[in-house]
Amino acid sequence: MTSVMKNEVQMKGKFHYQLSGWKYSTGIRVLLFLLLAFGFYVSLYAKLVPQVYDIVLGTTSEKTIYAPRQIENAIATEQAKEDAAKRVQPVYRIVNLKNDTLIDAIYDKLLQINADEEVKFDDKVSIYRRVIPQLISDLENDSIKSLRASGQYNVPLLEQIQTALAEQQYQLPEESYFKLPRMTKEDLAAMRPVTKDIVAKLMNDQILDAQTVRAKVAELVNTSNLTKNTSREMVTEIARVVITPNKFFDQKGTDDAKGQARENVKPVYINKNDVLVKVGDMITEEIYARLDKLELLKDKANYLPQFGLSILAALLSLVVFMFVKQSSLPIKYNNSQLVMLILIFLINVISMKIISLVQNLDYPYIGYLAPTALGTILIAILLDAPLAFVSSVLFSLMASIIFNTEHTLLFDFRYGLVSLVICFSAVFTIQRASQRATILKAGLMIAFFSMLTITSMLLMEDHFQQKEALISLSFAAAGGLLTVVFVIGLLPFFEVAFGILSPLKLVELSNPNHPLLRKLLTETPGTYHHSVMVGNLSEAAAESIGADGLLCRVGSYYHDIGKTKRPSYFIENQTNIENPHDRIDPNLSKSIIIAHPRDGVEMLKDYKMPKPIRDIAEQHHGTTLLHYFYHKAMKQAEEEGSDKEIREEDFRYPGPKAQSKEAAIVGIADSVEAAVRSLRNPTLEQIDSMVHKIIKSRLDDGQFNECDITLKELDKIAKTLNETLLGIFHSRIEYPSELAPKKSGT
Which sign, positive or negative, has the C-alpha torsion 524, 529, 533, 535?
positive
Is the confidence at residue 488, as pLDDT, over 90?
no
b or e along 435-472 (b: 16 or more beta carbons within 10 Å of the residue's beta carbon)?
eeebbeebbebbbebbbebbeeebeeeeeeeeebbebb
Question: Residues of the chain with pLDDT > 70: what percent?
Answer: 90
Burial class (CB in 10 A: 0-12, 13-18, 19+), 14: exposed
Does the structure show a pLDDT above 80 at 737? no
Question: What is the CA angle 697-679-665, rounded to 5?
Answer: 40
Task: Give the percent of the chain with pLDDT over 90.
Answer: 29
Instruction: Give the model confidence (pLDDT) of 547-605 as tens digits.
Output: 888 899 999 999 999 999 988 888 887 777 788 887 888 888 888 889 999 999 999 99
**Following CA atoms 231, 237, 239, 242 in sequence, which dihedral angle do they give, to the nearest 10 degrees?**
-140
Of 418, 320, 437, 434, nearest to 373 by C-alpha is 418
- 54 vs 613, more confident: 613
How far apart are alpha carbons 415 and 366 in whole angstroms? 10
**Rama region for 648: left / alpha / beta (φ>0; ψ in -120 to 50; rest):** alpha
Confidence of residue 642 (pLDDT cuts 50, 70, 90): confident
> Which pLDDT does position 436 carry in this prediction?
65
Q: Answer with the residue of higher pLDDT: 645 or 319.
A: 319
Per-residue confidence band for 435, with pLDDT thresholds at 50, 70 and 90:
low
Classified by CATH at the fold level, domain 3-46+302-499 comes out as: Arp2/3 complex 21 kDa subunit ARPC3 (1.10.1760)
Q: What is the Cα–Cα distance from 190 to 561, expressed in whole angstroms?
A: 136
Domain with CATH 1.10.1760.20 in the chain: 3-46+302-499
If we measure between CA atoms, which residue out of 111, 103, 168 comes closest to residue 135? 103
Over residues 425-450, the mean pLDDT reads: 82
Buried b / exposed e along 723-741 (16+ C-beta atoms within 10 A):
ebbeebbeeebeeeeeeee
Q: Are 77 and 147 in contact (CB under 8 A)?
A: no
- For residue 708, the tally of other CB atoms under 10 A from its CB is 11
- Residue spans in the chain of domains classed CATH 1.10.3210: 505-579+599-620+657-729
pLDDT by residue (tens digit) across 382-416?
A: 888 899 999 999 999 999 998 887 655 678 888 99
CATH class held by domain 505-579+599-620+657-729: mainly alpha
Per mean pLDDT, which range of 191-200, 459-468, 657-666 is the poorest?
A: 459-468
Give the pLDDT mean for 268-294: 75
- CA proximity to 704, closest of 730, 679, 667: 667
Beta strands 269-270 and 247-249, pairing class: unpaired
pLDDT tens-digit profile of 150-160?
778 888 888 88
- Range 470-498 average pLDDT: 89
